[in-house]
Structure 1
Amino acid sequence: MSKGASGMRVRALLTAILLLAVAACGGDATPEPVERVTLTWWDYLDHSPTADHAVEALVKRYQDAHPGVEIRRTAVPRPEFAARLDEAAAAGSFPDIAVVDLAALPRLAEQEALADLTPRFASWDLRDRFLGPVRDSVRHRDRFYGVPLRTGTTALLYNRALFEAAGVTTPPGTWEELRGTAKALTAEGRAGLCFAAPEGEDLTANYLSFLWQAGGDVRDVGGDASVRALSFMDTLVNVDRSAPADALRWTNADAEREFAAGRCAMMINGPWAVPSMNQAGLDWVSAALPSGQAGHAAALSGEAWVLGRDGRHADRAWDVLRWLAEERANATEFGAALHALPNRTDTVDDPGWQWDPNVPAFAAQLSAARPAYGPRYPQVSEAIWTMTHQVLAGERSPADAAGDARAKLEPLLR
């Protein structure tokens, strides 16, 4: 045998011995198998290209950082979303992760469709950084069922050029000042104040702000504060005529259009209106809603991330929610794409959240904002908007309409 052949046999033998030794020591040279998990995700955020792109980018970013996780996203048209979730809850096929409207969260929790996140919140550092009303918006019967996502509320938007032309130097800070300013700025072809007042959720949100400012609550409808709030709105529309009767057919989007066209000097609306105001090239500013007898108040709106109660991969799904909320770049990018407000103590003054100069004025309202009412909120809201619309349409007096609404609301709020 040649020396070359003998050397090759020796090297082969040594290699085999080395491989056996590695295997005997635990096989450290063999990589651990990657955990393969598929999570289902539902949302209705494809309503705008910006929001849709933000969701897709975040999902991809998480999957790139976690190769074993696949997130299967389903975007459902918003008008169909609530019904689809209810069907999934009844069929036991609720998605692992869903983006739900805050008003729907109590109802889904009552249907036992959502995972109780209270034990996870107990040890989560971020829990106490969410502003009080924001944290309350994902709590039902003292249990947490969601992670706050997009938060919004309304403010008073005003046309600076029209203010200056009328010699008005500051936005109104009280109901009396709001009434006086609205009257002063009303002219031919222009309303002093605009807000959405159709039979629908937009009107409910606007009335609730006045109700809370008057010192009342939904449980007190029929009492003095609820009548004061109705009477004040009635005065703006039917006595002073500084708020147009056409508002009874306007949604928030319609009010945006009128304000952007210069046909309203002031408007009550939310941060979702900002893009259209800027696109119109309007010289506008936002300020806090005027205070009533009980001070400032506004309706809190938005969405939350929730987990399905029977999800097989609850730990991984919770990890996704934590990653979305805790990573500053994620929250900032998502917030700007959704025109959301900074909703935590550590983000209120974060420059990354100032996607528009008017964001701080909207965000200042959050400390006095209030979330929706319970699992029967759709019926509660209908009773409120019916009552308010009847008054603004001149069909009922504030006292009579509030009395009828009280009879409808009592069984819903028990």
Structure 2
Amino acid sequence: MKKQVIWALGFSLCFSLTACGGSDGEGSNDVTQEGGTANGEPEEVLIWDYFTGVGQEVFYEQVDEFNNSQDDIVVKTEYVPFDQIKQQLSVGSTGDALPDIVNIDHVDNAALASQGVLADITDKVDEWGETEHFLEGPLNSTMYEDSYYGLPYTSNTLGLFYNEDLLEEAGFSEPPETWDELEEVAAAFSNSDVNGFGIAGERSEESTFQFYPFLRSAGADYDNLDSPQAVRALDFLDGLLENGHMSSDVINTAQDGLTNQFTTGDLAMMVNGSWNIERIKDDNPDMNWQVTEIPRDEEHASVIGGANLSIVEGANEDPAWEFMKWLMDPEQLESYAADSGVFPPRQDILDESDFWENDEYLSSFVPIMEYADARGPSPHWPDVSEAVQLAIQESFTDSKSPEDAMNDAAEEVSHVIDE
């Protein structure tokens, strides 16, 4: 709670500053028609990124390529760890030390926009005219009150990972497609040393992330958690746990822990994301496994993860936008996504490139990406997610029934939204 108060205070201070943002603390510089500043110097754009590993390496290569492609803009990068981005934005707002562009988790986009931290770039996006080529889920994550406050840069989604050999040994030649079939397959492992099914149930954003496909599949969303559909989603997962079809350890398990169990053959099926493909292949190259859609109730559903790029309010906006447009060009975006092992948020890239369609495992995620939803989007998402996490924990630990847990979560979300 204390951290949330400090964060909110930092953002509110940002509003009172007349020069909040920009790499030099003075907003946009005067730009000549030929580009660059009025004195002939190139414009400077600072971007904060939290990329690591190959993702960071490829991104920095693209920054160098952009800088070498023209003389009017110089982009500089500064690495800020993922778990410090929001804190650094609030600290920077009090001292004129904000970047021009920030790399943020897509679930934070609406919250930061509602706090006045991000620039409304709707006019630029509309003039650009490329949004029709983007996947709906990633694009929606950049919106707040029907305006654009960024663009999606990287995307991923969740699917059902399953061990083909284990399912075959249990008598199943195909993975489950419905909730009833999921329960049937998971039940086949109840009396064995193998856990039939697993989700990340620890109290963190990961449990909300993994619960969301079940919530949406039942026909519910974050703003009607007390609906019969929402209660059904939690009741279904709670039933798997109660009947021994999921291990009780899920209440303390993150996605990383699920992957460990899956690669060692201790877990037959799990909900997890495309970023784990290479790890599974490296850790257990002889395992026969595949990915398919998460079993459905009313309809198949999934949820997106990934990063957005947003321009900070008061930043050096015009050159920042020029760099963002360059990054979002299909050629650049396809290159980055393929080289760093993520999905592009553009439908036209997925339609025209052979890279994702030809990969044995990534290809399974392509149709899922086309219908995966953004969590929210909501400016209140941190509080919404916390309420959902608590409901999952209360239900899984039998401190509340699924119905009571979801009713209480709905009441908390309603209170937060109405404040």
Report the TM-score when normalising by structure 1.
Answer: 0.87
Aligned ranges for residues 100-179 of structure 1 at < 5 Å?
Answer: 100-179=104-183
Task: Report what 2:61 is aligned to.
Answer: 57
Secondary structure at the residue paired with 1:169? coil
Q: Is 1:230 the counterpart of 2:273 in the alignment?
A: no
Offset from partner CA, 1:316-365 (integer Å, 9 cap, x none): 1111111111041x212321344322332211231134584222222212
Which structure: larger Rg? 1
What is aligned with 2:82? 78
CA distance in 2, matches of 1:36, 1:223: 56
Greater mean alpha carbon deviation, residues 215-224 or residues 378-387 = 215-224
Deviation at 1:35, TM superposition (A): 4.2
Residues 367-388 of structure 1: CA deviation (Å, up to 9, x unaligned): 3322122111111100001011
1:202 maps onto 2:203 in alignment = no
| Counterparts of 1:62 and 1:358, CA distance in 2 | 32
**Cα distance, 1:401–1:315 mapped onto 2, change above 3 Å:** same
Gap change, CA 1:316 and 1:77, over 3 Å in 2: same
Query: Structure 1: which amino acid aligns with 2:44?
Result: T
Determine the structure 2 residue equivalent to 1:283. 288
2:365 aligns with one of 362, 366, 376 = 362
State the one-letter code of the partner of 1:267: M
Q: What are the ranges of 5 or more consecutive residues in structure 2 without an aligned counterpart?
A: 1-37
* Alpha-carbon shift at residue 125 of structure 1 (Å): 3.4
> Residues 166-206 of structure 1, C-alpha deviation per residue, up to 9 Å, x if partnerless?
23111111100111011124452211111110011111112
Q: What is the CA-CA distance between 1:68 and the residue it aligns to?
A: 4.1
Residue by residue over 1:74-132, the C-alpha shift from the partner in whole angstroms, topping out at 9 and shown as x without a partner, is 10122212211232345454311111111111111112121211111112232110022
Q: CA deviation at 1:301?
A: 1.5
* SS of 1:235 mapped into structure 2: helix
Is contact 1:209-1:297 (8 Å) kept?
A: yes
Out of 379, 384, 395, the position equivalent to 1:380 is 384
Specify the alignment match of 1:267 in structure 2: 270
Aligned pair partner of 1:184 in 188, 192, 195: 188
Give 3-state SS (helix, strand or coil) of 2:350's partner. coil
Q: Is the deviation greater in 163-172 or in 145-154?
A: 163-172
SS at structure 2 position matched to 1:310 = coil
CA distance in 2, matches of 1:377, 1:157: 27
Contact 1:194/1:259 (8 A) holds in 2 = no
Q: Is the 8 A contact 2:101 2:320 kept in 1?
A: yes
Which blocks of at least 5 consecutive residues in structure 1 are unaligned? Answer: 1-31
Spell out structure 1 runs of 4+ moving beyond 6 A: none
Could you tell me how far apart the structure 2 residues matched to 1:190 and 1:34 are? 67
Match of 1:318 in 2: 321
Q: 1:338 to 1:243 in 2, by over 3 A?
A: farther
Q: Which amino acid aligns with 2:372?
A: A
- Structure 1 equivalent of residue 10 of structure 2: none
Contact 2:301 2:372 in 1 (8 A): yes
The residue type paired with residue 195 of structure 1 is I
Contact kept? 2:155, 2:342, Cα under 8 Å: yes
The count of residues paired between Structure 1 and Structure 2 equals: 377
Relative to structure 2, which stretch is displaced further, 181-190 or 51-60? Answer: 181-190
User: Do the aligned residues in 1 keep the contact of 2:208 with 2:385 (CA within 8 Å)?
Assistant: yes
Match 1:413 to one of 410, 413, 417: 417
Matched with 1:4 is none
CA distance in 1, matches of 2:124, 2:305: 24
Structure-2 change in CA distance of 1:62 and 1:353 (3 Å): farther
Per the normalisation by structure 2, the TM-score is 0.86
